[in-house]
Amino acid sequence: MGLIRRLSFGICLVVLSAAGSGCGGSSGGSDGPGYVQIVNVIVDSPSLQADVEDSLFNLNFRQGTGLVEVVSGNNTVEVIYIDPDNGDETTVVEEFELAVFESTIHTLVLHGTYDAPQLLSLDKPFSDIGEEDSEIYEAQVVNLSTGGALEVYISEPNLDPGNNVPVATLVSGAASDVLTLDAGDLRLRLLAEGETQVIYDSGEFEIEENTRRTFYIHDPVGPDPASRGSFQTTDSGLLTFPNEVARAAVRTANMVVDEASVNISVVDPGQGDTLRADDLPFTGVSGYTTVDPAFVNISAQPVSGAADVNTTLSLNEDTFYTVVVAGAVVDDSVSVRALPLARRLVATSAVVQFVNTLQETDIDDFDQVDFYVLPQGDELDDGPPLAADMGFLEGEEVLVEANGEYDLVVTTAETQSILAGPVRVTPVGGTAMLVLITPAAGGGTPYQLVTHNDG
């Protein structure tokens, strides 16, 4: 395995390096510079700020610095979170001294959760990789996902993992040795140890010869708990590749104003299988069902026996979808739309997805609205709407800091004429909320806000 250090705070920092170890005093070399790279793999992380000897770096999830040249010897490192609303600072990793050695790359990897962060240190030599036209690159793989061991395949794009040997098999929290592999067109695939199902597929990418690449594996942030995520760092930054085999998730919502209930079905057109069927009352919202990303047929059948409304949707991998049925039977205006949400739950914020199901506001033949999320005590003039000029069956997702109470208000677009609200909510960090504006049951006013907490 590669050289790994797990850093503990408030106790002696033991440096696992051939250059020495100790507490206090310079334990690094002094003849030349070393290098530090910081990577954020905390899946529920907000944007953090890393301070390396007074040089500041902003790091969101799946972000990393390039190689930062520093003097060898002890260098101070600290990681904090700054609340964007009030500027309050929270210490994520307390300040400590990192012993930096000459011509060594010290990679500090933030992982775990925001409430229980961990720090992993990986050390390797900073040196030239191969010779000109060697057609090789240097690789290391770090598995920071939870669960069982993973088989890692980095190969030519068309090679079958089932007929090849993994470059590494890694338990949770482990790093591979530093590997020398063939450069060129490649593809990363992950399998649970001993299984045949690919749970991560990067698709094709290219690595140039004589370069470094570190592959980080993390837990999924989308709707497919069986999958995994991954990204790659280089000497200058990082690269991300979506998981091409991750599944999607679908839920349904009934906002048809003049029906007691509507039966909404999601059907696989190829096999004819019903993936989800819900008989929902007005303002009802179902739970999520995980499905393969593909075309699906949506059928909405009003309980009165009015004609079905049918449409076909294309679902993307690793994405949540809310299928909203809205409008009215009486004027044959029932419509269906799938609203995507590529959500990642963040510990310090709530994801709010707003959907407008009004076909008309207090202005004739005008359906556009503005959506405000106002901190308690604020008025409409205190800030712009978080979602503006939203038409019928249009939606938008916003992040709201989970640091107090807020008022939800919907106005006719660009008028501040209130259609619904204020509705007081207290967002909880690491959760999602669906908010819809609808007419009253049967149609017309008073308009209402429907909120649904996903947890």
Q: Which domain holds residue 364?
A: 343-455
Residue range 180-196: mean pLDDT, rounded: 94
**Nearest alpha carbon to residue 366 among 418, 413, 420, 421:** 413
- Do the domain assignments include residue 320? yes
Structure tokens at 212: 């470094």
Do 279 and 302 form a contact (C-beta atoms < 8 A)? Answer: no
Stronger pLDDT, 259 or 19, i.e. the higher one: 259
State the Cα–Cα distance between residues 375 and 405, nearest whole angstrom: 6
CATH of the domain at 208: 2.60.40
Give, in order, the Cα–Cα distances in Å from 135 to each of 103, 131, 132, 181.
24, 9, 8, 9
Q: DSSP of 312-338, one letter per residue?
A: EEEPPTT-EEEEEEEE-TTTT--EEEE
d(CA 142, CA 283): 45
Residues 256 and 326 in one domain: yes
Q: Say which residue, 70 or 9, is predicted with more confidence.
A: 70
Query: Residue 283: inside a domain, yes or no?
Result: yes
Quick one: 147 and 96 in the same domain? no
**266, 188 in Cβ contact below 8 A?**
no
- Both tokens assigned to 122: 């990986």
DSSP 356: E
Q: Are residues 96 and 186 in the same domain?
A: no
Confidence of residue 266 (pLDDT cuts 50, 70, 90): very high
Considering the domain architecture, whether residues 316 and 273 belong to the same structural domain is answered as yes
Last residue of a domain, one of 321, 342, 363: 342
Q: Which residues contact 6 (CB under 8 A, 6 or more apart)?
A: 118, 119, 120, 121
Domain final position from 208, 240, 272: 240
Looking at the structure, do residues 119 and 153 belong to the same domain, yes or no? Answer: no
DSSP per residue, 389-412: EE-TT-EEEEEEESSS-EEEEEEE
Tens digits of per-residue pLDDT, 205-247? Answer: 999 989 999 999 999 998 999 999 999 999 988 889 999 999 9
| Shared-domain flag, residues 284 and 336 | yes
Residues 276 and 365 occupy one common structural domain? no
18: three-class secondary structure by DSSP: coil
**Residue environment code for 342-353, b if the CB has 16+ CB neighbours within 10 A, otherwise e:** ebbbbbbbbbbb
**Does some domain include residue 130?**
no
* Same domain membership, residue 213 and residue 120: no
Q: Are 73 and 151 found together in one domain?
A: no
Asked whether the beta carbons of 64 and 235 are under 8 A apart, the reply is: no
Q: pLDDT digit string (tens) for 337-348? A: 999 987 789 999
Kindly indicate the confidence band of residue 24, based on its pLDDT and cuts at 50, 70 and 90: very low
Based on the domain organization, do 114 and 11 belong to the same domain? yes
> Does the residue 164 lie in any domain?
yes
The pLDDT value given to residue 443: 72
Alpha helices, DSSP H only, in 267-360?
Answer: none
Q: What is the domain-level CATH number for residue 312?
A: 2.60.40.10
Residues 155 and 95 in one domain: no
Answer yes or no: do 180 and 222 share one domain.
Answer: yes
Are residues 352 and 398 in contact, defined by beta-carbon separation less than 8 angstroms? yes
Q: How confident is the model at residue 297 (pLDDT cuts 50, 70, 90)?
A: very high
Boundary (domain end) residue, out of 219, 240, 261: 240
How many domains does the chain contain in total?
Answer: 4
Beta strands in 10-114 (DSSP E): 33-40, 48-52, 55-59, 63-64, 68-71, 73-82, 89-100, 104-112
Q: What is the average per-residue pLDDT within 92-107?
A: 92
Query: Which residue bears the tokens 């800091």?
Result: 401
Give the rounded percent of residues in the chain with a pLDDT score beyond 90.
65
pLDDT of 5 above 80: no
pLDDT at 129: 79
135 — phi, psi (to 5°)? Answer: 60, 35
Looking at residue 87, its pLDDT comes to 84
